[in-house]
């Protein structure tokens, strides 16, 4: 069966202005990025063709690669939200934050991830799988078609290699997400060659090696800085590679585990000591437009207000109705277990989720800001804002109305604040975890310094005993990265180290718990709500730690149900 039946072999997307990575977001910038991404859309021609690339508004490749600027224009679209849309629009948080027990939401197929009741035919599962292969397919198009055509037109080898390095950095990153969710996945290097082949899953270990090859090439060939903020650099690739090595090392049954821990420590240490990057000083602004491509951002999906799919959809999906022009977040919130993690005085907490009495000056500015209350009732007894079962709502990535951020929120679920794929705080934590290796703690001085820097930004005291335990690290990571779609990967590393520990950790969250209004006369006060302790427990099993291959893909290609094979020893 030809799963790649409709590849456009001799065309390339026509791209617009290359100013897509400026730090500010003036009107002209939005227009430029719209031109860039609108013509670089990758259209999937059906669920069974999960690797099909069909660029729109294309010209012949022979006519396109005339200069280095053309290469830059094409690689720019690899970072756009439109290219990442099917993954980032919902799946990234439905899987990354609901599976990890951080985000509460129970509606329909989205809620299946919270209840751990998802199956192979869940539409969001399919979107996540296809969305990541969509990114991979576009990267493959550049990797396999650009070099020869660019050389024919006299473009320098340095420019060609740099373009390849960007594409391989993005491809390696996408494969990392794929294999952490699905385990064994299909490696595709060349879309065209795969058209006539029967596809098989490849072992996770060989997928890791493929990712390492991509990210190593990117690390060795990308510049340390780029004139266009937001593009991948040497440090982006190195930081992601360090995280991949840490993940590989966490498979304690791998013979090379100790070597992988050492590589993760070495590479993360180099990013920390040599890149010149630092933590962004103000966590409260870290997820706003003004922080796009800041000194902590190593890799991010670039977002603009330009229509459906072009911008960050978290603002729309997560905001409470009273806080945004479009808002579907009334029923979503931080789980009770997540709320318990934040220490008294943790400055991050208010900017991760809203709790009773929190004040936000940058939301509803025209009304003097927004003060959060779990339930708001007017003088006539009308319920203007209702409580959810968590008695709290989302804040991270929620930036208010268009008027609150100079037009940085659109009316088609698009906002202009970037979505992080990797930031320096994560690399700090990678170093800490890598120094522990297979043990349960570290006293490494640099690890302590990095750990305490993150706590210091959060307004918290330094570690008291100068010993960071594995459990303390997981706790700190959970508080720092809640709602960034990556906490499930931390639990996966725990699972690789100790399956039972990870399952016990997840089942200890008691995610079935929620509040109900037990006194209708006290709807506006927490005193009026009682924790429901009578619900059946939501239980996680080992089999649910690896997502099933989407049913539509198995129907189209039954060979994907066969045992995985090593990609490098076919």
On the question of pLDDT at 11 being above 70, the answer is no
The sign one gets for the Cα dihedral 547, 548, 549, 551 is negative
The phi, psi pair for 442, rounded to 5°, reads -150, 150
Tens digit of each residue's pLDDT (9 = 90 or more) over 330-375: 999 999 999 999 999 999 999 999 999 999 999 999 999 999 999 9
Residue 507, Cα to own-chain centre: how many angstroms? Answer: 24
The sign one gets for the Cα dihedral 212, 217, 271, 175 is negative
Tens digit of each residue's pLDDT (9 = 90 or more) over 159-195: 999 999 999 999 999 999 999 999 999 999 998 777 6
Could you give the CA distance from residue 77 to residue 36 in angstroms, rounded to a whole number? 7
Residues spanned by the domain of 268: 11-282
pTM: 0.92
pLDDT of residue 41: 35
On the question of pLDDT at 247 being above 50, the answer is yes
pLDDT of residue 524: 97
pLDDT of residue 196: 67
Q: Is residue 287 part of a domain?
A: no
pLDDT of residue 257: 98
Tens digit of each residue's pLDDT (9 = 90 or more) over 526-567: 999 999 999 999 999 999 999 999 999 999 999 999 999 999
On the question of pLDDT at 49 being above 50, the answer is no
Q: Is residue 168 part of a domain?
A: yes
Tens digit of each residue's pLDDT (9 = 90 or more) over 114-153: 999 999 999 999 999 999 999 999 999 999 999 999 999 9
Q: Is residue 222 part of a domain?
A: yes
**In CATH, what number is assigned to the domain containing residue 159?**
1.25.40.390
Structure tokens, 162: 């740099």
pLDDT of residue 60: 62
Q: Is residue 496 part of a domain?
A: no
33-37, 224-228, 462-466: lowest mean pLDDT where?
33-37
Could you give the CA distance from residue 383 to residue 378 in angstroms, rounded to a whole number? 7
User: Average per-residue pLDDT in the chain?
Assistant: 90
For residue 569, name the pLDDT band (cuts at 50, 70, 90).
confident
Q: Is residue 474 part of a domain?
A: no
Non-local CB neighbours of 488 within 8 Å, separated by 6+ positions: 95, 96, 97, 99, 100, 180
Tens digit of each residue's pLDDT (9 = 90 or more) over 453-497: 999 999 999 999 999 999 999 999 999 999 999 999 999 999 999
Q: Is residue 125 part of a domain?
A: yes
Number of domains in the chain: 1
Mark 85-111 as b/e (b = at least 16 C-beta within 10 Å).
bbbbbbbbbbbbbbbbbbbbbbeebbb
Average pLDDT over every residue of 269-295 = 98
pLDDT of residue 12: 42
């Amino acid at each position: 069966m030809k799963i790649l039946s409709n590849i456009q072999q001799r065309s390339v997307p026509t791209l617009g202005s290359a100013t897509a990575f400026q730090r500010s977001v003036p009107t002209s910038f939005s227009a430029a990025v719209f031109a860039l991404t609108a013509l670089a859309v990758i259209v999937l021609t059906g669920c069974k063709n999960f690797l099909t690339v069909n660029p729109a508004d294309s010209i012949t490749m022979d006519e396109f690669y005339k200069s280095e600027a053309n290469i830059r224009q094409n690689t720019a679209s690899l970072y756009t939200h439109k290219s990442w849309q099917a993954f980032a629009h919902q799946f990234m948080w439905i899987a990354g934050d609901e599976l990890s027990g951080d985000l509460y939401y129970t509606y329909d197929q989205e809620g299946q991830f919270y209840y751990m009741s998802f199956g192979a035919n869940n539409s969001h599962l399919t979107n996540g799988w296809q969305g990541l292969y969509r990114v991979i397919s576009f990267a493959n198009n550049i990797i396999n078609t650009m070099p020869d055509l660019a050389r024919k037109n006299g473009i320098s080898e340095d420019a060609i290699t740099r373009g390849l390095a960007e594409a391989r950095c993005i491809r390696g990153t996408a494969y990392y997400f794929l294999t952490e969710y699905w385990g064994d996945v299909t490696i595709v290097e060349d879309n065209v060659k795969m058209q006539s082949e029967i596809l098989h899953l490849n072992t996770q270990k060989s997928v890791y090696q493929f990712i390492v090859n991509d990210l190593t090439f990117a690390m060795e060939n990308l510049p340390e800085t780029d004139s266009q903020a937001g593009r991948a650099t040497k440090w982006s690739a190195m930081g992601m590679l360090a995280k991949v090595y840490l993940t590989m090392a966490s498979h304690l049954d791998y013979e090379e585990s100790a070597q992988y821990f050492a590589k993760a420590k070495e590479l993360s240490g180099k990013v920390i000591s040599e890149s010149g990057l630092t933590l962004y000083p103000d966590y409260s602004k870290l997820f706003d437009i003004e922080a796009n491509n800041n000194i902590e951002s190593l890799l991010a999906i670039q977002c603009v207000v330009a229509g459906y799919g072009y911008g960050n959809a978290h603002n729309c999906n997560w905001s409470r109705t009273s806080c945004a022009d479009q808002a579907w977040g009334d029923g979503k919130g931080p789980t009770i277990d997540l709320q318990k993690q934040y220490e008294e005085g943790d400055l991050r907490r208010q900017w991760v989720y809203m709790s009773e009495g929190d004040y936000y000056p940058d939301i509803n500015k025209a009304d003097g800001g927004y003060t959060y209350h779990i339930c708001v009732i007017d003088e006539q007894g009308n319920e203007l804002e209702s409580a959810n079962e968590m008695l709290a709502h989302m804040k991270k990535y929620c930036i208010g109305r268009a008027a609150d951020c100079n037009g940085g929120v659109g009316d088609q679920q698009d906002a202009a604040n970037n979505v992080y794929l990797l930031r320096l705080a994560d690399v700090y934590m990678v170093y800490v975890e890598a120094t522990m290796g297979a043990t349960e703690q570290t006293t490494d001085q640099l690890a302590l310094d990095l750990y305490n820097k993150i706590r210091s930004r959060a307004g918290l005291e330094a570690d008291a005993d100068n010993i960071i335990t594995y459990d303390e690290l997981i706790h700190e990571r959970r508080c720092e990265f809640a709602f960034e779609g990556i906490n499930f990967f931390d639990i996966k590393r725990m699972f690789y180290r100790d399956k039972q520990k990870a399952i016990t950790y997840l089942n200890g969250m008691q995610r079935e718990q929620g509040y109900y209004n037990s006194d209708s006369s006290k709807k506006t006060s927490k005193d009026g709500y009682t924790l429901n302790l009578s619900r059946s427990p939501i239980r996680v099993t080992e089999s649910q730690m690896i997502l099933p291959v989407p049913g539509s893909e198995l129907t189209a290609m039954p060979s994907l149900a066969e045992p995985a094979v090593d990609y490098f020893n076919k």
